[in-house]
């Protein structure tokens, strides 16, 4: 039996972990024993607990309850906690997802005591080292033994950074193996898409009409913390929704909710809350989120995961960031990088509203990335 220790902490990691836990439960339960450590980076009911039952993820064996703080304190507390658990559990591997502080902490803690790191979502780069996530993902990749990239672009980034494509086993931190294996988030979207039909009522509850609303999410720190950027984004959403009379649903991350009043101009803040076409709601469950994505006319986001899910459900996406790690979706002309540029966001909306034929080639695998990863772990 192989013992793996999975570290999760932020919302998207909890969701990604569901795919691997499902593959283990269905096909590898006699070969892989999974221990789950929740760092507590996200802790609100609707940012963490809501996902466990809904996505059938086993309850974490440990919760470090680190909560929110600055990068250094938060990451340091996680490193201490994860190291203690690694020394006690002695797993064969640690599994890390994505690019959050929980990812970085897991990589540093494990690599220093020679526990091999498996990085899922390896190789993604924004080429913007001002993003905390870029530092986290580069560090994690370079401390990893098995690196699973969801896209060809991610795989090529690793090769460009010096990872060899023809290393021979046994794989180690100094002789790592890189893979292009598809996206565990795509596995999840396929798996839960049908379940959502019978289990989510959010479209009725919010009184929405299919293909007649915008879905937006905003949480990236350089948008929420920068008054100019946040005002530009909300001003664009305000203008689009009131001019076109199109409902804009915004399940807001708590980071953004807490900063709206402080960082929006008083005038815009009042307009947003008076605008009958803007619906600001609490973060929603994953099944509700999928229902919103499947039924939206267009998605506007600065989220990494939501950009991709828009693509999985064949919806155009306006990316409210200056760059994206998912450059395939821009190259396929189904997404536009509009940054926090008010006019560009409005123009991109009009571009997509007029365009009805978009192509969404299948570039995120076959929905079986998690099974592939389990197979390689066993090998
Ligand atoms: C983190 C990740 C980011 C990821 C995002 C997913 C890092 C550096 N960033 O950003 O890559 O895209 O998660 O959602 O790891 N808060 C709450 N309740 C919660 C969680 C957070 O109120 O349950 C608030 C707190 O005020 C906190 C703020 O949100 O200070 C930011 O949380 P944090 O986890 O530090 O970063 P995120 O912006 O969520
Ligand atoms: N998500 C969700 N409820 C919400 C907003 C997002 O379940 O209210 C899901 C979304 O479907 C995706 C993931 O959270 O699977 C993306 O996480 P987030 O945007 O927080 O982080 P990022 O992907 O940018 O790291």
Query: How confident is the model over 258-288, as pLDDT tens digits?
Result: 999 999 999 999 999 999 999 999 999 999 9
pLDDT classification of 356: cutoffs 50, 70, 90: confident
Torsion of CA 328, 330, 335, 336, to 10 degrees: 160
Q: Is the CB of 9 under 6 A from ligand 2?
A: no
Q: Is the CB of 43 under 6 A from ligand 1?
A: yes
Dist. CA 256 → ligand 1 center (Å)? 10
Tell me if residue 180 is catalytic: no
What domains lie within the chain, and their CATH numbers? Answer: 2-183+365-378 (3.40.50.2000), 195-354 (3.40.50.2000)
Could you identify the atom of ligand 2 that is nearest to the CA of residue 303? 24
Dihedral sign of CA atoms 289, 294, 296, 302 in order: positive
Dist. CA 101 → ligand 1 center (Å)? 9
Which residue is closest in CA terms to ligand 2's atom 14?
12
Dihedral sign of CA atoms 195, 196, 201, 207 in order: negative
Q: Is the CB of 239 under 6 A from ligand 1?
A: no
What is the C-alpha separation between 167 and 60, in angstroms, rounded?
A: 34
Which residue is closest in CA terms to ligand 1's atom 17?
254
Residue 196 pLDDT greater than 90, yes or no: yes
8-state DSSP, 292 = H
Tell me: the pLDDT tens digits for 295-317? 999 999 999 999 999 999 999 99
Ligand nearest 45 Cα, by number? 1
DSSP per-residue letters across 223-252: HHS-HHHHHHHHHHHHHHHHHHT-EEEEE-
């Amino acid at each position: 039996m192989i013992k793996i220790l999975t570290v999760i902490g932020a919302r998207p990691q909890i969701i990604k972990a569901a795919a691997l836990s499902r593959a283990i439960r269905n096909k590898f339960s006699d070969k892989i024993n999974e221990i789950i450590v929740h760092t507590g980076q996200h802790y609100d009911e609707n940012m963490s607990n809501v996902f466990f039952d809904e996505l059938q993820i086993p309850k974490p064996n440990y919760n470090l309850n680190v909560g929110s703080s600055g990068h250094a304190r938060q990451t340091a507390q996680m490193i201490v906690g994860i190291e203690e658990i690694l020394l006690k559990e002695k797993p064969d591997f640690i599994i890390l997802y994505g690019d959050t502080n929980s990812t970085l902490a897991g990589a540093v803690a494990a690599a220093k005591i020679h526990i091999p790191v498996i990085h899922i979502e390896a190789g993604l780069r924004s080429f913007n080292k001002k993003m905390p996530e870029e530092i986290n993902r580069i560090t994690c990749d370079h401390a990893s033994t098995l690196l699973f990239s969801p896209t060809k672009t991610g795989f090529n980034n690793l090769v460009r950074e010096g990872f060899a494509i023809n290393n021979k086993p046994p794989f180690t931190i100094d002789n790592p193996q890189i893979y292009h294996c598809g996206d565990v988030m795509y596995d999840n979207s396929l798996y839960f898409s049908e379940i959502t039909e019978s289990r989510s009522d959010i479209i009725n509850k919010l009184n929405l009409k299919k293909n007649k609303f915008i879905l937006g999410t905003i949480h990236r720190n350089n948008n929420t913390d920068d008054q100019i950027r946040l005002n530009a984004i909300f001003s664009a959403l305000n203008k689009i929704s009131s001019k076109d009379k199109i409902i804009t649903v915004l399940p807001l991350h708590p980071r953004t909710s807490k900063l709206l009043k402080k960082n929006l101009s008083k005038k815009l803040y009042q307009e947003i809350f008076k605008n009958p076409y803007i619906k600001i709601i609490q973060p929603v469950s994953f099944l509700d989120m999928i229902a919103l994505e499947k039924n939206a006319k267009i998605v506007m986001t600065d989220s990494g995961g939501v950009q991709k899910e828009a693509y999985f459900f064949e919806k155009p996406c306006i990316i409210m960031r200056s760059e994206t790690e998912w450059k395939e979706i821009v190259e396929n002309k189904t997404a536009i990088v509009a940054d926090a540029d008010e006019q560009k966001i409005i123009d991109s909306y009009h571009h997509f509203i007029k365009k009805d034929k978009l192509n969404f080639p299948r570039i995120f695998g076959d929905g079986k990335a998690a099974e592939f990863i389990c197979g390689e772990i066993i090998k």
